[in-house]
Amino acid sequence: MKASANQILPSARTRELIVRELEDEVLVYDLERQKAHCLNQTSAFVWKHCDGRTSIAKMVQLLEKRLKTPVSEQVVWLALEQLEKSHLLKKPVMQQSQQEKQMSRRELVRRLGTAAAITIPLVISIAAPTSAAAASGCVGNGGVCTTNADCCVGLMCLNCGAGLMCFRNCP
């Protein structure tokens, strides 16, 4: 049984993060995982409202007011799913039932139409090299490369679908 959108009160992580707010996005650097995340306007708005007191339904209302356009509850769920995968929430949000499984961004755009595409949340994440790796000039795990020589010891320059990046194995 799916929990009501009024019962789920997501809570954002605040520890071990460096946050910089820009005009239309928020940059978050996770000191614990050494990853940088870029949150677009929608995902940043949802993350800022993950205060442990604001329900999913209330986030939808606030987002509609902010964007001045109707917003599907699925938009907030997709943002939460991305924030959870990026380890930016204190604990996982309750999963919806199999029948109400989350939609991909592509499915959501198809369902809502291109006019609503501006509301689609997006979290882009990259791995940042450790200070030792940065000083050595090698590219760390998840970093962009052109040959194996670019990668730090133990990593290979692989094309895992998102271009050439340094990994031990494709994730």
List pLDDT tens digits, range 8-60. 899 999 999 999 998 888 999 998 888 899 999 999 999 999 999 999 999 99
**What confidence tier does 97 reach under pLDDT thresholds 50, 70, 90?**
very low
pTM of the full structure: 0.65
Looking at residue 124, its pLDDT comes to: 78
* Domain annotation for the chain: domains and CATH numbers: 17-126 (1.10.10), 129-167 (no CATH)
Cα dihedral 133, 136, 138, 140, rounded to 10, equals: 0
Compute the average pLDDT of residues 142-163.
82
Highest mean pLDDT among 76-80, 119-123, 151-155, 167-171: 76-80
Of 1 and 94, the structure prediction assigns the larger pLDDT to 94
In angstroms, what CA-CA distances link 79 with 12, 22, 40, 97, 132? 12, 19, 10, 17, 33
Among 4-13, 52-61, 111-120, the range scoring the smallest mean pLDDT is 111-120
**What residues have CB less than 8 Å from 171, skipping those under 6 apart?**
160
Of 169 and 1, the structure prediction assigns the larger pLDDT to 169
Can you give the length of the chain in residues?
171
Looking at residue 95, its pLDDT comes to: 55
Give the mean pLDDT of the chain.
80
**What confidence tier does 109 reach under pLDDT thresholds 50, 70, 90?**
low
Q: For residues 42 and 26, give the distance between their C-alpha atoms in angstroms, rounded to a whole number.
A: 10
Contact between 35 and 125 under an 8 Å Cβ cutoff? The reply is yes
**What confidence tier does 134 reach under pLDDT thresholds 50, 70, 90?**
low
